[in-house]
Amino acid sequence: MKNFSYLFIAILISIITVSCQKDDEINPNDKNTVILEFDNRIGDQKLVLGTTTAKNSLNEDFTVTRLNYFVSNVSLKNENGDVVKFNDKYFLVKHSDPTSWLIKLENVPAGNYNEVSYMIGVDSLKSISDVSQRTGVLDPASYGDDNMYWSWNSGYIFFKMEGKSSAIPMNMMNMTEYQFHIGGFGGMTGKTPNNLKNITLPMAISAQVRGDVSPQIHIINDVQKVFSGVNQISIAKSYMTHTPDAGIFIGQNYAKSFIVDHVHNEKD
C-alpha cells in the first residue's frame, strides 16, 4: 500500500511538471503586445498637476504644472540577448493626458524579456528630416500653446517641466513659475549640446510574452530627481532654462529618474 502511495505521488508530480512545462513553452510563431506604462511621481507621491507639493534637495518648494517628454528608439532584450527594436516609433508622454502614459509595442515575438531601453528625445536623423516625414506627435503644428518644438536650430523640446516655486526671486516680469525646456540633438546648421538621453532599465521579473500573455511594464519616473539625479539644481538660479547649453545638467538628472517598478504578466 505504501509503495502504491509513493507511485501515485510520483505520477502526480510528473503530471504537474509536464503541465507547467507546457504552459511555459515559447512558440516562436506567437506574437503579442507589450505595454510600457509611464507613472510620473514626485518621490513617493502620485503627481497631480498644480497640487502635489514637494521640496528639492536644496529645500526649495515646488509644484509641477506641466510635464511632457518624448520617448523613442524603444527596444526590448530577451534572456538570450536578442534585441527587438521598434524603429521609427515616437511617443509623447503628457501628464495632462493619461492615454499617453501607455505606450503599446505591437507584434513582439514570444519570449522572456529582461531589459527595456529607450531614448528621451527625438534623434538627430528624424529631427532634421523633411517635415512631411514628421507626423503624429512629431508634427510641430500639433502642439498649440503646449509647444514642444523650437523653430530655431535646436528642434524638438525633448523634456518640458514647469511649475510654481516660492524660491524664484523677485524679477521684473513678476514670474513665479520655473520652466525647464530641454532640447538639443547636436545641431543642424551649427553645433549645439547633445541632450538626447539613452536609458536602459533591467527588469527583476521578466516580461513574458506569449500568445495569450501581453505584459505590462510599469516604469516610474520620479521627477524629484530632475533636481538631484546627478547634479543639484537650484530653482532660484535656474528657473528659466530654455537653451541646450543651460539644459545639460538637468538632462543628466532626468536620465536617472526612471526605474522599472514591476511587470504584469497576466494572461489575456
Mean pLDDT of the chain: 90
Residues 196/155, Cβ–Cβ less than 8 Å: no
| Distance of alpha carbon 162 from alpha carbon 176, whole angstroms | 11
| Distance of alpha carbon 162 from alpha carbon 181, whole angstroms | 8
Picking from 257, 193, 200, the residue whose alpha carbon sits closest to that of residue 230 is 257
| Total-model pTM | 0.89
Q: What is the pLDDT of residues 141-194, one digit of tens each?
A: 888 888 999 987 679 999 999 999 999 998 767 788 999 999 999 877 778 899
Average pLDDT rounded to a whole number, residues 240-247: 94
List of residues 6+ apart from 44 with CB closer than 8 A = none
pLDDT at 153: 65
Q: What is the pLDDT of residues 17-26, one digit of tens each?
A: 444 444 468 9
SS3 helix, strand, coil % of the chain, rounded to 5? Answer: 20, 45, 35
pLDDT at 17: 45
Average pLDDT rounded to a whole number, residues 201-217: 97
C-alpha cell at 111: 519570449
Q: How confident is the model at residue 16 (pLDDT cuts 50, 70, 90)?
A: very low
pLDDT value at 91 more than 90: yes
Sign of the Cα pseudo-torsion (229, 201, 261, 219, in order): positive
Strand partners, 194: 185
